[in-house]
Amino acid sequence: MLASILVSLLAASSAPTPLYAIYQQQWGFSPITVTVVFGVYAVAVLASLLVFGKISDHVGRRPVLVAALVVQVLAMVTFLTADGENALLAARVVQGLSTGAAVGALGAGMLDIDPRRGGFLNSFAPAVGTATGALMSALIVQYLPAPTHLVYFVLLGVFLLQIVGVLSLRESVSRKPGALASMAPEIKLPAAARSSVAVAAPVMFAVWALVGLYGALGPAIARTLERSDSVVWGGLPLFVLAGAAGLAVVTLRNAATRALMLTGIGTLVVGVVITLVSIASGTGGTLSVAGFFLGAAVSGFGFGAGFQGGIRMVIPNVAPHERSGVLSLLYVVCYLGLGVPAVIGGILVVHGGGLVQTAREYGVAVIALALVALAGLVLHGRRAKPVEAASQGARGMDVAVQVD
């Protein structure tokens, strides 16, 4: 149940992506507005995470989830009644506030029930939601009536059903005082998790910056390369990226955490390089289109591996009553990576070198971020080995003393 809510929330967040071209035609706003609409969602999620990220550790998971789903229903109504860019921005803000309040409680709730499966679903559900939302929206808009309304009616019905489902769930944590104090925005980490977060955060920022590239600029790039106005082409890049991420989470679920993160960084870099080569000419053609989607698939695999590895590196070091807050902090890092580069990219499309040049610059920046994350991971591994060797030596001395 909890995983299905996370899927629905992320599907709703990606559902507007194929619609941006239609909104542009109807309301006449610029590419900057498209990326601002994309980025303002991330900012709203960030604000909500900072304020509400830890509250479910105090009041329980169910009340937070019910409230978040009610707000998500309001977001769908706002989308349905939108008549311009201001209403679209408002809908994205409301949607972001709901998602930010929910993700920490959902992630912690799944870990409460089953730590192993919960860790897997925390990585798998966002990828599935992002992929299905982008493709479902594109297909509905392209082939069914009421293109700017039907997808939101569908999601509205799903959220109403999920409210009923949450009310029937058993609470997984006991209430404790301090709910109001927990809403004061602060970056606070348990001491046991600080070193692992320091290593995981750059990786997670880099892989979510990749999602920003394909979510904010991907639809326009795909339509330019294909020379098509089809909305389906606009939804495909994010679907391919997120679908490959889900595949990575499933196929690498038993891999060692360090190997998982190294795989994520390596495939992300390779995938972005393929993407950059495919759009180098900016003129399209079959090879360019195929290369663009191949790059999305390879780098998406890196996204799934890096995101899963980051969660698995951090969560084992966190006590149950700290899970919601720490997961919310990780999502703060992710949504900073998602939103900030995307908005900068939109500005550069208009005031810089245009779409193709901006995509190149964005891709190079993602590669640079990934290499910084790789350097941190390697340095952490070198520091960890002497400590591990010393601890093993100490255990060996203890054994020797006991034997004597």
- Domain edges within the chain: 2-168+192-403
Write down the pLDDT at residue 187. Answer: 65
Please, which pLDDT band fits residue 383 given cuts at 50, 70 and 90? low
Range from 16-25, 61-70, 96-105, 366-375 carrying the lowest mean pLDDT: 16-25
* Whether pLDDT at 388 is above 70: no
Question: What proportion of the chain, given as a percentage, has pLDDT over 90?
Answer: 21
Q: What is the Cβ-side half-sphere exposure of residue 160, based on CA atoms within 13 angstroms? A: 9
Q: Which two tokens mark 35?
A: 């990326």
* Whether pLDDT at 114 is above 90: no
Contact 355, 217 (CB under 8 A): yes
Q: Categorise residue 145: left if φ over 0, alpha if ψ from -120 to 50, beta otherwise.
A: beta
Q: What is the pTM of this model?
A: 0.75
For the domain spanning 2-168+192-403, the CATH number is 1.20.1250.20
Write down the pLDDT at residue 391. Answer: 36
Contact 291, 277 (CB under 8 A): yes
Q: 286-314 vs 218-226: helix axis angle to the nearest 10?
A: 160
Range from 45-54, 76-85, 277-286, 387-396 carrying the lowest mean pLDDT: 387-396
Higher-scoring residue by pLDDT: 2, 346: 2
Please, which pLDDT band fits residue 178 given cuts at 50, 70 and 90? confident
- With 0-12 CB in 10 A as exposed, 13-18 as middle and 19+ as buried, what is 282? middle
Mean pLDDT of 117-134: 82
Write down the pLDDT at residue 14. Answer: 85
